[in-house]
Amino acid sequence: MKRFVASILTVVMIGASFTGCGNNNNASPRNGAASGSNSVDNIIAQAEKMSNDELFKKAIAESNGKTMYGIGNSSRGATAGTNFVNKLKSIDSSYTGKVEWSQPKNNSIFTLLTSDIQSQQHTYSMTLIQDGNQIQSKMLNTGYLRNFIPKDWASAQGVDAAKDSKPFALQAQAKVFAFNNLGGASYTNCWDFVSQNTHPLFMGVNSEPVGKNFLYMLTDSKYCDLMKSAFDALPNDKKAYFQKTVDSVENEASTLGLSSPNAKYSLAWIKLWCQQYNKQTDDGPVCTQLVTKGAAGQCALLVNSKFRSVEESATSSKKNCTVAVYQDNYKGIGGYSYKHYLQVLKTSPLPWTACAFISYMTTDKDGYVAWGKDMGSYCSNPSIMQDHSKDGYVKGVDTFPVKNDKPFSWWSSDNGGRLVIEDPAYCAKVAGQMSDWIDSNTNGKG
């Protein structure tokens, strides 16, 4: 009988042990865990109803003496983190929390986030992440990331909640068509960038995924219509040249599941672009080359912020470059825009602090200054943006027009910059069929 009771107790203990193993996915993470009524989702729901003052107090209570780990595609998150800690210290001088920021390379952020979320010990609390296609398919559709919309951001002047809240965006970046204006070259229509013997400088579509997202987005009905309109504005000889390619891809539009009647125009442009672009490793070298005297007539699609760091010399000058869409007679798209999204991990060890940090970056000028101090970054909260409309002026003279930036409301307008805007849901929807098609048409210098 004693042996029987002992056997029963052994089974119960083993069962309890297995139950404990089964709960390891909820094991206490580094810096503590949010669980039950304090789960990440519940905390976000509460945080969205709080002002910054209330959030900052919650963050101080949660993270005092601890380190919040953030991960992002922009190294400037580290500067924002330092400013955030100083903000909390100004509220409570005894606060000793820290923010540690990491910027992974080679598009590894998705692997690192997935590994952290699936692990038994969770490190990262929040992320600043780009590439709408992978965000949607790998992070949002899986439920790995949680959306938090700050109350003070939603009530700020100029905010467009419909466009920037799902997923929540810190900022937009712009890649623009530009050309070296020496030698009389003319680019007055977006189709000029895929004309015969033209090889735009551009980062490879499989080395920088947001570039491939740009091509996905071109198949959206809105942009198909813009490509058709630009095509119609071409002189007859250029129309005749491009018409051959337009006709050759007409049947492929339906095969790819594209519903726009003008999809063939976008496909034709994409095909020519992929066959002709000159693949580069980074936008920095693209800009460095484009501003030189030796690059007369060359063109590129690059982040416009790169022009801010060009040093004037006998062989290089910002004067040598023109942003195509700044020309009054320019037709068609002016480039494209992708965004940096702020998200809370579903396994966030410090969710209150993550929400407070996200709110700080998007509602306080010191929170955004790491990006906003320079041209080329456009906060989703225009009220904390700095004015860069005269960055190209030297002693009151308009010396470097390429540096005179516009607000994002202009860049995204059909009457302004006409940028192709990344939509994560659309990119994820068409990536399956479009990715292989783009790869199959990429050859030559691309």
Q: Are residues 359 and 329 in the same domain?
A: no
* Percentage of residues in the chain having pLDDT higher than 70: 91
The pair of three-digit structure tokens given for residue 388, joined into one six-digit string: 């860069």
**pLDDT digits 0-9 by tens, 220-230:** 999 999 999 99
Q: Are residues 138 and 287 in the same domain?
A: no
Q: What is the pLDDT of residue 12?
A: 33
Q: What is the pLDDT of residue 252?
A: 95
The parent domain of residue 54 ranges over 32-170+340-383
Q: Residue 70: phi, psi to the nearest 5?
A: -120, 155
3-state DSSP call for residue 98?
Answer: strand
Q: What is the pLDDT of residue 184?
A: 87
Q: Are residues 81 and 158 in the same domain?
A: yes
Q: Cα 181–184–188 angle (5° rounding)?
A: 70
| Residues 171, 130: Cα–Cα separation, whole Å | 10
Q: Tell whether pTM > 0.85.
A: yes
21-25, 265-269, 279-283, 340-344: which has the minimum mean pLDDT?
21-25
Question: Is residue 186 domain-resident?
Answer: yes
Residue 38 pLDDT grade (very low, low, confident, very high; cuts 50, 70, 90): low
**CA-CA distances (angstroms) from residue 441 to 107, 218, 268?**
23, 15, 11
Q: What is the pLDDT of residue 107?
A: 83
Residue 24 pLDDT greater than 60, yes or no:
no
Q: Are residues 222 and 141 in the same domain?
A: no
| Residues 244, 249: Cα–Cα separation, whole Å | 9
**pLDDT digits 0-9 by tens, 118-143:** 999 999 999 999 999 999 999 999 99
In the chain, how many domains are there? Answer: 2
Q: Are residues 75 and 144 in the same domain?
A: yes
Closest CA to 400 of 173, 174, 181: 181
Q: Are residues 201 and 159 in the same domain?
A: no
* Percentage of residues in the chain having pLDDT higher than 90: 88
Question: Is residue 6 domain-resident?
Answer: no
**pLDDT digits 0-9 by tens, 355-414:** 999 999 999 999 999 999 999 999 999 999 999 999 999 999 999 999 999 999 999 999
**CA-CA distances (angstroms) from residue 261 to 203, 216, 254, 257?**
30, 16, 9, 12
Q: Are residues 294 and 430 in the same domain?
A: yes
**pLDDT digits 0-9 by tens, 408-445:** 999 999 999 999 999 999 999 999 999 999 999 987 44
- What count of residues does the chain have? 446
- β-pair type (335-345, 419-421): parallel
The pair of three-digit structure tokens given for residue 305, joined into one six-digit string: 């912020």
Q: In 36-160, where does DSSP find H-type helix?
A: 40-47, 52-63, 77-91, 109-118, 132-134, 151-154
The pair of three-digit structure tokens given for residue 183, joined into one six-digit string: 């030698």
